Amino acid sequence: MVDVILGLQWGDEGKGKIVDYFAKDYDVIARFQGGPNAGHTLYVNDKKIVLHQIPSGIFHEDKTNLVGAGVVLDAVTLKRECDSVAAFGVDYRKNLFISERTNLILPTHRALDKASELAKGTDKIGSTLKGIGPAYMDKTGRNALRVGDLLDKNFTTQYIKLRLKHQRLLDSFNFQEDISAWEEEFFEAIDFLRSLKIVNGEYFLNDKISAGNKVLAEGAQGSMLDVDFGTFPFVTSSSTITAGVCSGLGIAPQKIKEVIGITKAYCTRVGSGPFPTELMDETGDFLRNTGNEFGSTTGRPRRCGWIDLVALQFACMINGVTQIVMTKADILDGLKELKVCNSYKINGEETDRIPFQMNKLDIEPIYKSFEGWNTDIQAFANYEAMPSQMKNYINYLNEFIKVPVKYISNGPGRDQLIIT
Ligand code: GDP
Ligand code: IMO
Ligand code: MG
C-alpha cells in the first residue's frame, strides 16, 4: 500500500515538515521526482535542517528511505547532505537506498542550466540553476548517465562522451566559465555515491509492498510546477503529480491509496511565471516577512498572495487528492481581513477553470472576503477550541474544493499540527 504527500501550489507548501510528521506510520519513505531544486525544511530537536535530495523520513531511525528512479541526483549535494544528517546521529549507510535507475546530474548540466537561463534574458524561468532541466532533457533524449552506470568500468568513457556533447552546446551559448572545480568535486562525490546502497528500486519497493510494508511517496515542487499541467513554460521538468509516483517509483496505480495534498493557507511562488493572486502591496510584504518567505534552496524572496481556489481545485482534480493539509495558518494570525480567489475574470468572462496558457492572459482574480481570526492560533490545542472565523475559512474551502482539510499546521515544529 502506498500513500502520497505532494504539493498543490507552486512548491514550498511545507511538504518536508508533513512527511517528517507522517513518517512514523510508514516503513518506507520514497522520493519519486525532482532533484536538488527541492528544499524541504524539517525541525529535528528544535534544530532546522533543509533536505534537497534525501527523503524527509531520514530522521526516523528504523525507516527505509529510497531515492527513486524519477529523481535526478546531484552526487555533490547528496554527499554534503549525508554529512549533515550524520551530524544528527543518522546512520544513512543503513537507512538510505538509491535506485540504480536514478539519473545523474553532471557538472555540465548545471552549466547548461545557467547558459540557457542567461540566453532567455527577461523570459527566464527563474530556475534554481541546479541542472534540473538539462538533466531531464538527457533522460528523455536518451543520453543520460544513471546511478547504475557508476558501477560499470566504462563509466569515465561514457562521461567523457556526454561531456563532449554538452561542451558543443555550451560553445553554442558562448558559455566561457571554468567548471573544473565542479568536476573535481563531482568525481569525489561519485566515489562516495558508489559506496552507498544502490538497489533495483522497483523490485525493492514492490517486494516491500507485497510483504505488507507501508510506503509514503514524497513529492517535490508542486502541482502548478508540473511539466505537463503546470503553468508551462514556467514549470520544472518533472511530473510532480500523483501520476509521477507510478512512473518515478515503478509501482502500479492500484497500489496508491491516500493522496495527501499540501497547501499553504495563502499562496507563494518563487521564480518567474503567472501568479494571479500575487499581492504587490503591504499585505504581500506582511506575508513574506511574517511567513519568512525566502527560498530554502536559493534564498530568493518568495512572491506572496492570497490562496487561489481555482488552482487548488485543479490540483486536487489532476492528483486525485483525498485529504488536504493546510500549512502556515498561523501566518494569517495578524490579518483583520482574509481573501480567497474563487474565480478568474478573463476578457470580461468569469471562469473557475485553469486556462491553456496563463502567462499570455490578463487574469483578474475574483475574491470572497472573510473576517480574520486575529489571534494567536498556536495557543489552541484542538480544532474545537479554534476561533469561529478560522472554521468559516476552512468550511468554505471544504465546500468549494470538495476535499476535506484534515489537518491544520500552525507552526514549523514537527508536532504543530491540529486534526480538524
Ligand atoms: P517544502 O519545500 O514544501 O518542504 O517547504 P519549505 O521547507 O521550502 O518551506 C516551508 C517553510 O515553512 C519552512 O521554513 C517550514 O519550516 C515552514 N513551515 C511549515 N509549516 C509551517 C507552519 O504551519 N507554520 C509556520 N509558521 N511555518 C511552517
Ligand atoms: P520544493 O520541493 C519552489 C521553481 C523554480 C523555478 C521553476 C523551475 O522545495 O517545493 P528548476 O530549478 O526546477 O528548473 O526551476 O521551478 N522551483 C521551485 N519552487 N519549491 C521548489 O521545490 C522548487 N523547485 C523548483 O523557482 O521557478
Ligand atoms: Mg521548499
- Are residues 205 and 66 in contact, defined by beta-carbon separation less than 8 angstroms? yes
Average pLDDT of the segment spanning 366-391: 95
Atom of ligand 1 nearest to the CA of 7: 3
Catalytic residue of the set 3, 12, 74, 308: 12
Q: Which residue segments constitute the domains of the chain, with CATH numbers given? A: 2-100+198-260 (3.40.440.10), 103-193 (1.10.300.10), 262-419 (3.90.170.10)
Distance CA 124, CA 341 (A): 27
Work out the mean pLDDT of the chain and round it to a whole number.
97
Query: Can you point out the beta strands (E) in 197-255?
Result: 197-199, 215-218
Question: Residue 313: CB within 6 Å of ligand 1?
Answer: no
Ligand 1: distance of its center to the CA of 288 in Å? 12
Side chain identity at 396, as an amino acid letter?
Answer: Y
CA of 43 to the centre of ligand 1 (A): 10
Q: How many residues does the chain have?
A: 420
- Is residue 166 flagged as an active site residue? no
Task: Encode pLDDT of 147-186 as tens digits.
Answer: 999 999 999 999 999 999 999 999 999 999 999 999 999 9
> In 3D, which of 399, 265, 241 has the Cα closest to residue 325?
265
CA of 11 to the centre of ligand 3 (A): 6
Is residue 353 pLDDT above 90, yes or no?
A: yes
Averaged pLDDT for residues 294-319? 95
52 pocket-lining for ligand 1 (C-beta < 6 Å): no
Q: Closest residue (by CA) to atom 28 of ligand 1?
A: 412
DSSP letters, 7-18, are ESSSS-SSHHHH
Give tens-digit pLDDT for 58-91.
Answer: 999 999 999 999 999 999 999 999 999 999 999 9
pLDDT above 90: residue 9? yes
Q: Could you confirm whether 40 is annotated as catalytic? A: yes
Note the pLDDT of residue 159: 98
What pLDDT sits at residue 298? 85
Helical ranges in 42-130 per DSSP H: 75-86, 92-95, 107-120
Task: Tell whether the model's pLDDT for residue 296 goes beyond 90.
Answer: no
* Pocket of ligand 2, beta carbon within 6 A: 7, 10-12, 34, 37-40, 125-128, 130, 132-133, 220-222, 225, 236, 270-271, 296
- Dist. CA 133–CA 121, nearest whole Å: 17
Q: Give nearest CA residue, ligand 2 atom 21.
A: 221
pLDDT digits (tens, 9 = 90+) for 307-333: 999 999 999 999 999 999 999 999 999
Cα–Cα distance measured from residue 40 to residue 14, given in angstroms and rounded to the nearest whole number: 7
pLDDT score, position 297 = 81
pLDDT digits (tens, 9 = 90+) for 98-122: 999 999 999 999 999 999 999 999 9
- The whole-number pLDDT of residue 411 equals 96
The arithmetic mean of pLDDT across residues 268-292, rounded, is: 97
User: Does ligand 1 come within 6 angstroms of the Cβ of 295?
Assistant: no
Rounded to the nearest whole angstrom, what is the distance from the C-alpha of residue 386 to the centroid of ligand 2?
34
CA-nearest residue for atom 20, ligand 1, is 412
Integer angstrom CA distances of residue 144 from 101, 136, 399: 10, 8, 46
Phi, psi of 416, deg, nearest 5: -85, 75
Q: Which of 221, 240, 262 to mutate to test the pocket of ligand 2 (most atoms within 8 A of CB)?
A: 221
Q: Which amino acid is at 218?
A: E
Task: For residue 238, report the distance from its CA to the centre of ligand 1, in Å.
Answer: 22
pLDDT at 270: 96
Query: pLDDT > 70: what percent of the chain?
Result: 100
Q: What gap in Å lies between CA 40 and CA 409, rounded to an integer?
A: 15
Query: How confident is the model at residue 289, as a pLDDT?
Result: 97
pLDDT over 90 (residue 302) = yes
251: CA distance to ligand 2 center in Å?
A: 25
Atom of ligand 1 nearest to the CA of 13: 3
Is residue 119 a contact partner of residue 133, using CB atoms and an 8 Å limit? no
Quick one: angle between helices 180-194 and 75-86, nearest 10? 60
- The per-residue pLDDT for range 32-41, each reduced to its tens digit, is 999 999 999 9
> Taking the model in full, what pTM does it have?
0.98
* 358 phi, psi to nearest 5 deg: -55, -35
Q: Which atom of ligand 1 is nearest to the CA of 41?
A: 7
Whether 419 shows a pLDDT value over 90: the answer reads yes
Residue 277 predicted with pLDDT over 90: yes
Q: Given this model, what pLDDT does residue 19 score?
A: 98
